[in-house]
Amino acid sequence: MYSIDWTKTAIKQLRKIQPEKQRKAILSAVGDLAECPTNAANVKALKGHGVGYRLRVGNYRVLFDLSDGVRIITVQEVKKRDERTY
């Protein structure tokens, strides 16, 4: 099982998301990553980007890195999907 670490930027972005129902959906989806992050249906590896993976949750994207050696998921950003997300 992986532990989940949030950056200050990701926490700040998550707090701004409205409505609260959407925020809870994102937290739940990130919590589900702890079991097996790379085999989740909405996870995709990113190429040519500073962050390794993205998780799709509705109109939002959770960008995260994965460290298999110490089994830590580091959530880097939570952004609404638009032309500037990636």
46-85 pLDDT, tens per residue? 998 889 999 999 999 999 999 988 999 999 999 998 877 7
Is CATH 3.40.190.10 the right assignment for the domain spanning 3-80? no
Domain boundaries, the chain: 3-80
- Whether residue 76 contacts residue 11, with contact meaning beta carbons closer than 8 Å, is answered with no
Axis-axis angle for helices 8-15, 20-32 (nearest 10): 140
Q: pLDDT digit string (tens) for 1-36? A: 899 999 999 999 999 999 999 999 999 999 999 988
